[in-house]
Amino acid sequence: MRSKREVSPLHVVLCIILLAVSIVAVFMVLGKSRRENPLLRTTNRKSFIVVIGKSDTSAFWQSVASGANAAAAEYNLDMNFVAPVHEESYEDQNDMIRAAINGRARAIVFSAIDYNGNADAINEAIEAGIPVIIIDSDVNSDRVSCRIMTDNYLAGRMAGEQAVHNNEGELTVGIINYDINSMNGQERERGFCDAVNESGRVAGIYTVNCLSTEESAYEETTALLNEHPEINTIAALNELMSLGSGYAVRDLELADSVDIYAFDSNVISVGMLETGEIDGLIVQNPYAMGYLSVEAAYNLINGRELSSENIDTTTTYVSESNMYDPSIQRLIFRFEG
């Protein structure tokens, strides 16, 4: 009757195994709680991620880098921000992507100079198992993990609608665009053109594509205005274009007759709002772009679901009349900590 109550060796072995498992579990729990403690997080090796921008000189990209830095600090990532010297050299960007692959980056945040030219390198990275997050400007790949950018078409439309709103007469438009292969520039141009065309008051649209430098923009704008003096509205599609065209208009003393609608902001373009060369700024949220992209990279590295594959960052229209509103102040004037 009592035979089944007797202790078989199997019983003992089972007990010992369970005991060992439990002890391991205790240590795992303690270890886990320690890992989850952010103060002790630094004891772990940091994950390395690379943010590849288009430029590192413009205020826009500095702000992106600053946002990325903030997120990297918060999520304890080792973040490296790199950008080519010239904003046209997509090949340099490709080299940076390959360097990131070789450097065993855990994620790449990327802004494409060339929609098609960067595609192969991006696909290589994705094939190497590195998730890619696109910011600001898209690349021709349907395999990227996430896109965080301004809706550039809508941003372009916003600028166009302001141009139409501020000028009740006939519009002759000059568009100062940069690299024709850059997707975001093309989208903005399309949005702007659609918006002004819808007004039915367009006399002509002249587009120039310059190098993404202030000097090139200055020269191209000057040339365009000299060639087409009837131009009364200029769309400058990025930060450097806005400075170049702003200076051109200032030097041609056409500030009163030519309205410039420009993208992004820095202290000079903001100053030009006050002095009247620039009439409106479409201000993106580069800080958020940088921050959210690194946050997304962190989530991808840790195998978490992203809330969305496409995150649309905000755009704000800033004119002379609202530039010193407290909320706008915060948006366009960087706070140096």
Partner 1 sequence: MSERKNSTGVSLSRAMTVVVVIMVFTAVIIALFVFNYLFRDSLENAAMTSAGQSVDQVAVTINNYTDDMVEIMDKLYTNSIEDPDSQEELFQNLINIRSDIVMVATYDSHNNNTGIWTNYDIKDMIYTNLSLYSVPAESDDSISISAPHVVSVLENYYPWVVTITRGADETFSNAAKIAFDVRFSTIARYIDEVGIGQHGYCFIMDSSSNIIYHPQQQLINAGLKYENTYLSALPDGSHMIDGVIYTVKTLENSNWKIIGITYLDETVNDRVRAMTLASVLIFIVVVLMTFLFGSLFSYLFTKPAKKLAGAMKEFEDNASGFVFEPIEGFVEVNKLSDSFEHLVKRIQELMEEVKEEETTLRKTELKALQAQINPHFLYNTLDSISWMCEEGKNEEAVAMVNALAKLFRISISRGHEIIPIEKEVQHAECYLQIQKYRYTNHFDYEFDVQESCKEYLCNKITLQPLIENALYHGLNMIDEGHISIRIFEEGEDVIMEVEDNGSGMTEEQVKELFINDGTDHHGIGVKNVNDRIKIYFGEKYGITVRSELDEGTCVVIRIPKVTEERKYEK
Which stretches of the chain bind partner 1, using CB under 8 A? Answer: 1-2, 5-7, 11-12, 15-16, 18-19, 22-23, 25-26, 29-30, 33, 36-39, 66-67, 70, 267-268, 270-271, 274-275, 285, 287-288, 291-292, 314, 320, 324, 326, 329-331, 333-337
CB of 316 to partner 1, least distance (A): 10
Q: Could you tell me if 231 and 222 are in contact, meaning their C-beta atoms sit under 8 angstroms apart?
A: no
State the DSSP string of 247-291.
Answer: HHHHHTT-TTT-EEEEES--HHHHHHHHHTSEEEEEE--HHHHHH
The C-alpha atoms of residue 254 and residue 277 are separated, in whole angstroms, by 8
167, with CB counted inside 10 A (0-12, 13-18, 19+), is: middle
* 29/223 with CB nearer partner 1: 29
- CA dihedral sign of residues 136, 139, 142, 145: negative
By beta-carbon proximity to partner 1, the closer residue of 7 and 102 is 7
Distance, in Å, from the CA atom of 261 to the CA atom of 191, rounded to the nearest integer, reads 13
Q: How far is the CB of 59 from partner 1 (least distance, A)?
A: 11
Backbone angles phi, psi at 263, to 5 degrees: -100, 145
Q: How far is the CB of 326 from partner 1 (least distance, A)?
A: 7
- Give the nearer residue to partner 1 in terms of CB position, either 202 or 288: 288
Least distance from C-beta 262 to partner 1, angstroms? 16
Identity of the residue, 126 or 306, whose beta carbon is nearer to partner 1 in the bound complex: 306
Residue with smaller CB distance to partner 1, 75 or 178: 75
What lies within 8 Å, CB to CB, of 81 at 6+ separation is 51, 53, 56, 64, 65, 68, 69
Query: For partner 1, which is the closer residue by CB, 37 or 257?
Result: 37
Tokens coding 182: 């850059």
Q: At its nearest, how many Å lie between partner 1 and the CB of residue 78?
A: 21
Nearer to partner 1, 12 or 180 (CB): 12
- Least distance (Å) from partner 1 to the CB of residue 95? 31
What does the alpha-carbon distance between residue 196 and residue 153 come to, in Å, rounded to a whole number? 13
CB of 11 to partner 1, least distance (A): 7
Q: Which residue's CB is nearer to partner 1, number 100 or number 147?
A: 147
State residue 135 phi and psi, 5-degree precision. Answer: -120, 160
For the chain, first and last CA: distance in Å? 81
Residue 195, H or E segment: helix 183-199
Smallest distance, partner 1 to C-beta of residue 96, A: 26
